[in-house]
Amino acid sequence: MIDFWTEFLLYAIAVIVTVAVLARPIGAYVYRVVAVGPASASRWMRLESAVWRGLGIDPTVEMGFAGYARALIAFNVVGGIALYLLLRLQGHLPLALADRPGFSPDLSFNTALSFLTNTNWQAYSGDNTLNHSVQMAGLTVQNFLSAATGISVAVALGRGLGSRAEGLLGNFWADCLRTTVYVLLPGAILLALYFGIAGAVQTLQYDAVVHTVEGTVQHIAVGPVASQEAIKMFGTNGGGFFGANSAHPFENPTALSNFVQIVALLCIPFALTYTFGLQVGRPRDARLLRQVMLGLLVALAFLGGAAEQRNAVPSGINVSAAQSALQSGGLMEGKETRFGIVSSTLFTAATTGTSTGATDASIDSMTAMGTFVPLFLIQLSELTPGGVGSGIYTMVVYALLAVFIAGLMIGRTPEYLGKKIEATEMKLVAIFVLVTPALVLIGTAVAVLWPDALKSVGNPGARGFTEILYGYSSAANNNGSSMGGLNANTPFFNISLGIAMFLGRFWPIVAALGLADAFSRKRPLEPGPGTMPTSGLVFGMLLVGTIVLVGVLTFVPALTLGPVADALVTAGGTAP
C-alpha cells in the first residue's frame, strides 16, 4: 500500500521534474522568438513580412508605454466586442442548433469579459448551451489571444528592467503575433493530438447516440473538445467545453492525461521566469523568483491534500475514511475515483496557483481547509506560478515591494536588478497590489448586501459566504474556478463579476507596463555596499513573507467569516 504522504511526494516530484525539464528550453525559446524576435534574414521573418505588409504594420517600430498600452487595450476591447456579438447571435451562426439561442445580454457580457481576460469564469454549462462555432471561433480564439496578451506584457516588463533604450518597450503587435504563432499554436497542436489519442473527443457532431442495455436511447454530448482542451491548459485559461470541466472523461480521459494537464498548465508560467532571467541578464535572481513560486505552491498543495485525506467523517455516521490496506481513504465526495485525493488536490492547487481555474474535482465539496487552499492561492494575486505572463510580472511587482520594505526596515538602498526604486515605481506597485483586493472585498461586501443576491448561494452560513468571496476572488484575480454551489448566472453576478474581471486584468497590466517604462529610463547601477542581494536565501524568505503577509493582512477578516468559521463549525461535528 502506498500511503498518502508517499503518493503526494512521488506525484509532486514527477510534476516538478517534468516541468523543470520543459520550462528551461521553452523559456529560452520564448526569449529567442518573442523577446528578441526572429533574425531579419531568417525564413520565419520572410513569412512574417508578408503578414505585416498585409496588416500595414511595421514590427520593427518600438512603442513607448502609452503606445504599447493603448494597442493592447484596443486589441482586447475589439476582441471583447466580437465575442459578445458571437454569443448574442449564436443562433444565427453556422452549426447553429434550434434549441441553443443566443446568450442573454448579461451572460454574454460576463462570458465575453471572462474569456477576454484569461479568467474563463463560466456561469453556463458549455456542452448544452453553446454552439460549436462559438466554442471554436469565439472561446478558443480568445484563449490564444488572452494568453498572448499576458506573455506580451511579461516580455515588455523584462525589456524595461533589462538595459534597453529609454522608454521603449517593443512592439505589441509583433509580441502578440509571435507569441500566438510560434509559442502557443505549436504547443496547443501537440497537446491536442495527445488528448485526442488519450480519449478526448474531437468532432463537429453534437451528440453520440447510444443504445443502452436497458433498451433506451441516450444522447451523449460531444464536440471539438481536444483542440479546446489543449490551449485551455497551455494558456492557463481553464474554461472547459463541458460544464464538469476536467472531471469529464471526454475532457480529461485518464490519470495520465490528468498528469499531462497539470504539467501543461505549469509549463509556460515557469518557463517565463527563464525568459525574464535572460532578458535582465540575471538568471540567479530569476531562479529565486521561480523557487519562491514553487515553494509556496507545493506547501499549499500539500496542505490541501492533507485536509482531504483526513478521516473527518461527520460524527454519528458509522464509516471510516481512514487509509488502510482495503481502501484509499479520504473524503471522496466530489472527486473522481479514477484520480483520487492526490491527483485531485494537486490539480486544484496547480490550477488555482496559476490563473487556469480548471477543475477535476468539486471545490464546493471539499473541507473548509480544502476550500481555503485554492481560495488563498488565488488571493495571493496568482503568482505561484501565476498565469502565462501575469505570474512573472506579478512576482516581479512583489519583489519590488519586498525590496522597498527591506529598505524601510534596515536602511538598504531600494534597488532591484540594478535599477533604483523611487516614488513613481512605488506608486505603480501600490496600484498593482491594491486593485485586485479592493475589487474582491468591495464586490463581496456589495454582494452580501444586494437584494436577492443571497438567493444564489447554495449553502447557508459561512460556506455560503465563502462561495461569494471565492467568486469575486476568482474573478478579480482572473482565475475562473468557482464553488459550484453559487448560482452566478444572474444579472447582478454576471455584471459585477464581469467588471471585477476587466479591472482586475487591465489595471495591473497598465501598472506593469508603467513600471517597464519607468525602469527602462533608469541607468543601471553598479552594486554597492548598501545593495541588497536579491538572489539569495534571505531575500527569498523576505519575498515569501511579503507575499504571505500582504495576502493574510488583506484577506484575514474575510477569511475569518468564510473558511475559518466554516472549519470551526464543521470541526465540532467531525471525528478528529
Point out which residues bind another protein (CB under 8 A): 65-66, 69-70, 73, 77, 80-81, 88, 104-106, 108-109, 166-167, 428, 431, 495, 498-499, 502-503, 506-507, 510-511, 514, 517-518, 521
By beta-carbon proximity to another protein, the closer residue of 416 and 502 is 502
By beta-carbon proximity to another protein, the closer residue of 108 and 456 is 108
By beta-carbon proximity to another protein, the closer residue of 332 and 500 is 500
Beta carbon of residue 106, minimum distance to another protein (angstroms, whole number): 7
By beta-carbon proximity to another protein, the closer residue of 264 and 503 is 503
> CB of 461 within 8 A of CB of 448?
no
By beta-carbon proximity to another protein, the closer residue of 112 and 559 is 112
Q: Nearest-CA neighbor of 120 among 264, 262, 5, 232?
A: 232
Q: What residues contact 431, with CB distance under 8 A and at least 6 apart? A: 507, 508, 511
Residue type, 70: R
527 exposure class (CB count in 10 Å sphere: 0-12, 13-18, 19+)? exposed
- Position of cell 534596515? 410
Pairing of strands 217-221, 415-416: unpaired
By beta-carbon proximity to another protein, the closer residue of 38 and 498 is 498
Beta carbon of residue 315, minimum distance to another protein (angstroms, whole number): 49
By beta-carbon proximity to another protein, the closer residue of 354 and 477 is 477
Beta carbon of residue 277, minimum distance to another protein (angstroms, whole number): 26
By beta-carbon proximity to another protein, the closer residue of 175 and 285 is 175
Beta carbon of residue 74, minimum distance to another protein (angstroms, whole number): 9
By beta-carbon proximity to another protein, the closer residue of 8 and 506 is 506
Q: Pick left, alpha or beta for residue 417 (phi over 0 → left; psi -120 to 50 → alpha; otherwise beta).
A: left
CA separation for the pair 183, 360 (Å, rounded): 26
Beta carbon of residue 72, minimum distance to another protein (angstroms, whole number): 10
Write out 177-234 in H/E/C secondary structure.
HHHHHHHHHHHHHHHHHHHHHHCCCECCCCEEEEECCCCCEEEEECCEHHHHHHHHHH
Kindly give the residue spans of alpha helices, DSSP state H, lying in 316-422. Answer: 340-353, 368-379, 390-410
Kindly give the residue spans of alpha helices, DSSP state H, lying in 315-364. Answer: 340-353
Give me Rg for the CA atoms of the chain: 23
Residue type, 562: G
The three cell numbers of residue 527 are 552594486
By beta-carbon proximity to another protein, the closer residue of 181 and 499 is 499
Beta carbon of residue 510, minimum distance to another protein (angstroms, whole number): 5
By beta-carbon proximity to another protein, the closer residue of 81 and 538 is 81
Q: Residue 297, Cα to own-chain centre: how many angstroms?
A: 13
Beta carbon of residue 73, minimum distance to another protein (angstroms, whole number): 6
Beta carbon of residue 224, minimum distance to another protein (angstroms, whole number): 28
Beta carbon of residue 558, minimum distance to another protein (angstroms, whole number): 24
Write out 512-558 in H/E/C secondary structure.
HHHHHHHHHCCCCCCCCCCECCCCCHHHHHHHHHHHHHHHHHHHHHH
By beta-carbon proximity to another protein, the closer residue of 80 and 126 is 80
Beta carbon of residue 64, minimum distance to another protein (angstroms, whole number): 8
Beta carbon of residue 470, minimum distance to another protein (angstroms, whole number): 23
Beta carbon of residue 434, minimum distance to another protein (angstroms, whole number): 13
- Enumerate helices (H) and strands (E) in the chain, giving the number of each: 20, 4
By beta-carbon proximity to another protein, the closer residue of 81 and 568 is 81
Beta carbon of residue 485, minimum distance to another protein (angstroms, whole number): 26
Pairing of strands 415-416, 419-420: antiparallel
By beta-carbon proximity to another protein, the closer residue of 156 and 380 is 156
CA separation for the pair 513, 172 (Å, rounded): 11
> CB of 115 within 8 A of CB of 139?
yes
By beta-carbon proximity to another protein, the closer residue of 67 and 281 is 67
CA separation for the pair 396, 202 (Å, rounded): 39
CA separation for the pair 415, 104 (Å, rounded): 50
Beta carbon of residue 56, minimum distance to another protein (angstroms, whole number): 23
Q: Nearest-CA neighbor of 27 among 275, 266, 265, 263?
A: 275
DSSP letter for each residue of 6-42? HHHHHHHHHHHHHHHHHHHHHHHHHIIIIII---TTS
Beta carbon of residue 81, minimum distance to another protein (angstroms, whole number): 8
Q: What residues contact 136, with CB distance under 8 A and at least 6 apart? A: 224, 227, 228
